[in-house]
Amino acid sequence: MTLTIEARGLTKRFGKKTALDGLSLEVESGQVVAVLGPNGAGKTTFVRSVSTLIRPEEGELKVCGYDVRREAESVRRVIGLAGQYAAVDQALSGRENLVLVARLFGQSAKQAKANAEAVLELFGLVEAADRLVRTYSGGMRRKLDLGASLVSQPRLLILDEPTTGLDPRSRLDLWDAIEALVERGTDVLLTTQYLDEADRLARNIVIIDQGRTVASGTPAELKRRIGGKILEVHVRDRAHIPLVAQALTREGVAAPEIDESTRRISVGADDGAAQWLIDGLTAVRDSGAVLADIAVREPSLDEVFLALTGQKTSSAESVGAATLETA
């Protein structure tokens, strides 16, 4: 199996700050991988290393088999980068932007024009193609930027926080566009702060924190890492929260998570803990709290993330809400 990305012991410091601290990870070809981590975890530094924009000081990094330091030119031929900013020219039209990038890749004028047209069609930008980009919405600019990274037919598409700062509608739109690419067989490396984005787009997730890989696997595998199930109790009266929390507190188990605003108390159950669940439920019944609902469910990636990094993500609740509205 060929590896699209192979990183071993990557280290990069900026002055006294260590951005990458011995990061290792492997990405097999034919995959969409999301690198997930809190702000400052080293996501952007990693992506910039893969894109040959910065050189790691130590360790080894190969992209599609090429060493980023010794064979940067070869790496640049096989990647397409869409960064955090829409790197398109505001004073050019959408079509002109795409043609320019294609021609810089050495394509003939005719070839560049045809490829620009194909990208415009792919992203539904045909009608806006001849308008100047400064008249585009934020979402359209990102799509065009994504398109510009595609005119060279890269083997690996690198997306650095592609939807950060977009409104929910544009975000869904861009997700659709990325999914369409994945179906065509482009490998994608994606960084994001949003778990729902990683969950939706990526088959594999790498969680990094403080410049190291903390965990990796499919969303399902990661959810299994923090143990079996989550018991979640929803009370009617806010005053009853402490009763339930008290009932669910056990020696050797993480303290229950309390969400005051939704009056929910949740606690993780260890693997195969049928007995534990029964005991927990009994304790809740005996506590005298009035319950609105009770559920046993799979952990969310948010909870995985919290367990692995000790930090909450900026999981976009507003995006979740918008998903419902537009669905």
Tokens of 248: 């669910």
In Å, the largest CA–CA distance within the chain is 77
**The binder of another protein chosen from 77, 131, 234, 250 (CB under 8 A):** 77
Could you tell me the smallest distance in angstroms from the CB atom of residue 290 to another protein?
55
Cβ atoms within 10 Å of 154's Cβ, excluding its own: 20
Nearer to another protein, 114 or 291 (CB): 114
- Residue 53 within binding range of another protein, rule CB under 8 A: yes
Could you tell me the smallest distance in angstroms from the CB atom of residue 317 to another protein?
28
Could you tell me the smallest distance in angstroms from the CB atom of residue 138 to another protein?
13
Half-sphere exposure (CA, 13 Å, Cβ side) for 284? Answer: 26
* Crossing angle for the helix pair 109-122 and 138-148, to the nearest 10 degrees: 140
Q: How far apart are CA 139 and CA 270, in angstroms?
A: 43
Do residues 5 and 189 touch, judged by C-beta distance below 8 A? yes
Could you tell me the smallest distance in angstroms from the CB atom of residue 128 to another protein?
17
- Residue 117 within binding range of another protein, rule CB under 8 A: yes
Nearer to another protein, 83 or 268 (CB): 83
- Residue 327 within binding range of another protein, rule CB under 8 A: no
**The binder of another protein chosen from 61, 81, 189, 190 (CB under 8 A):** 81
Nearer to another protein, 89 or 257 (CB): 89
The window from 119-127, 261-269, 297-305, 311-319 that contacts another protein (CB under 8 A) reads: 119-127
Q: Quick one: residue 315, left, alpha or beta (phi over 0 = left, psi -120 to 50 = alpha)?
A: beta
- Residue 115 within binding range of another protein, rule CB under 8 A: yes
Give the distance, in angstroms, between the CA of residue 228 and the centroid of all CA atoms in the same chain: 23
- Residue 86 within binding range of another protein, rule CB under 8 A: yes
Nearer to another protein, 78 or 322 (CB): 78
Nearer to another protein, 109 or 239 (CB): 109
- Residue 84 within binding range of another protein, rule CB under 8 A: yes
- Taking CB under 8 A as the criterion, which residues in 56-75 touch another protein? 73-74
Per the listing, tokens 């993480």 go with 254
- Residue 213 within binding range of another protein, rule CB under 8 A: no
Do residues 144 and 125 touch, judged by C-beta distance below 8 A? yes
- Residue 126 within binding range of another protein, rule CB under 8 A: no
Nearer to another protein, 106 or 272 (CB): 106
Dihedral of the CA atoms 302, 50, 133, 200 (nearest 10)? Answer: -30
Size of the site for another protein (CB under 8 A): 50
Which residues have CB under 8 Å from 308's CB, separation 6+? 207, 209, 214, 215, 225, 226
- Residue 11 within binding range of another protein, rule CB under 8 A: no
- Residue 54 within binding range of another protein, rule CB under 8 A: yes
Could you tell me the smallest distance in angstroms from the CB atom of residue 55 to another protein?
5
Q: Are strands 230-235 and 291-297 parallel, antiparallel or unpaired?
A: antiparallel
Cross-strand pairs, 233? 265, 294
* Cα–Cα separations (whole angstroms), residue 273 to 57, 219, 225, 229, 230: 46, 22, 15, 8, 11
- Residue 121 within binding range of another protein, rule CB under 8 A: yes
Residues that bind another protein (CB under 8 A): 12, 14, 19, 45, 48, 51-55, 73-74, 76-79, 81, 83-89, 91-92, 96, 100-101, 103-107, 111, 114-115, 117-119, 121-122, 132, 148-153, 155
